[in-house]
Chain A
Amino acid sequence: GAGVSQSPSNKVTEKGKDVELRCDPISGHTALYWYRQSLGQGLEFLIYFQGNSAPDKSGLPSDRFSAERTGGSVSTLTIQRTQQEDSAVYLCASRGEAYNSPLHFGNGTRLTVT
């Protein structure tokens, strides 16, 4: 079946603009995660959804970042008033209901703030 789908694959925006990044998880996966990966760096956790609720949003770097998930499926990550330090690859991952289910990642959105 289809994997995790993210759009757009690339986004170039001007400093100060808002951006929305979209994630479509694997069908039936109830848990969804957002990570950020800066050049040459590891994965930085942003937020985790179980269904439509976000029990852990501890990784959001500032109040400019928000995320929502509707219908237990698609999620959007919104960055308001983008800054140059927001430039990174934003990765979405989903996993099944079983406790031991691993994460399956999309190919990410490469965000460049000019």
Chain B
Amino acid sequence: QKEVEQDPGPLSVPEGAIVSLNCTYSNSAFQYFMWYRQYSRKGPELLMYTYSSGNKEDGRFTAQVDKSSKYISLFIRDSQPSDSATYLCAMKHFNKFYFGSGTKLNVKP
């Protein structure tokens, strides 16, 4: 069993839709949770970073962590074609980072 599971997609939505991206994890010791966005031929770019259970909002993006269920989500409101990318979840424990395999999102104009 992988430590971090993420549906690879692809996920295709119309412009303006609300997008929900999710990851589950197996290690309850994971403490810090991140979402990265990766455009084609670019490195992953940090989008959201959170520690505690609950919601964290930044513009159109909301990161949600449920430690009791070992489940994290990223919501994108009013999705735009420029949001089309691969989204990677990541978790930190001590000095190691554990990544999901990424969900490819396509937002159609």
A interface residues (Cβ-Cβ under 8 A, vs B): 4, 6, 31, 33, 40-43, 45, 48, 50, 55-56, 91, 93, 100, 102-108, 110
- Closest Cβ of chain A to B46, distance in Å, is 5
A91 engages B43 (CB within 8 Å): yes
Contact of A55 among B32, B42, B95, B97 (CB under 8 A): B95
A102 engages B43 (CB within 8 Å): no
Which one of B11-19, B60-68, B69-77, B99-107 is at the A interface?
B99-107
Give the size of the chain B interface in residues (CB under 8 angstroms).
Answer: 23
Which residues of A lie under 8 Å from residue B42 when comparing CB positions? 107-108
Alpha-carbon distance A75/B43, docked complex (angstroms): 17
A103 engages B95 (CB within 8 Å): no
Alpha-carbon distance A56/B97, docked complex (angstroms): 12
Contact of B96 among A4, A45, A107 (CB under 8 A): A45
Sample 29 A-B pairs with CB under 8 A, ordered by A number.
A4-B43, A6-B43, A31-B95, A33-B97, A42-B88, A42-B102, A43-B44, A43-B88, A45-B96, A45-B97, A48-B95, A48-B96, A50-B95, A56-B96, A91-B43, A93-B43, A100-B32, A102-B32, A102-B46, A102-B90, A103-B34, A103-B90, A104-B46, A105-B44, A106-B43, A107-B41, A107-B42, A107-B43, A108-B43
B49 within 8 A of A: yes
A41 engages B101 (CB within 8 Å): yes
